[in-house]
Amino acid sequence: MEQFAHAQKETKTTLFIAPPYVFFPGIVDGNSLKEIKVLDKNERAFILPVTNHTSVKITKNDGAHTTFYFNTLLLQDSTITGSKTHFFEAHIRPIKFMDIAKIELQ
């Protein structure tokens, strides 16, 4: 959470190219983080670069989990939101902080 203190909301654009020469811009909102400090399974800290391929898996207290792109993750009103794709706004259902058991970056 502390690392998100200075992160800004930004609009991300991804170009989808389909033959014959048709370009579709994918526009989603996300965070401005370029890297994040994480712990591995042995609890050693290291810096992980945040790319379009970095995903986050959030496991809730009831065992249900949600996976989506980390660079689309936003913290809003004690909840986490994000998008499952970079091509359009495919929002996940907001997850309350108090319902989270584990957060994993992949």
pTM of the entire predicted model? 0.77
Q: Mean per-residue pLDDT for 16-33?
A: 73
Residue 93 phi, psi (nearest 5): -70, 130
Number of domains in the chain: 1
Within 13 Å and on the Cβ side, how many CA atoms surround 45? 3
Report residue 96's pLDDT band, with 50, 70 and 90 as the boundaries: very high
Domain range enclosing 19: 2-105
Q: Quick one: how many helices (H) and strands (E) in the chain?
A: 0, 10
Q: What is the pLDDT of residues 63-85, one digit of tens each?
A: 999 999 888 898 888 999 998 98
User: Rounded distance, CA 29 to CA 82, Å?
Assistant: 8
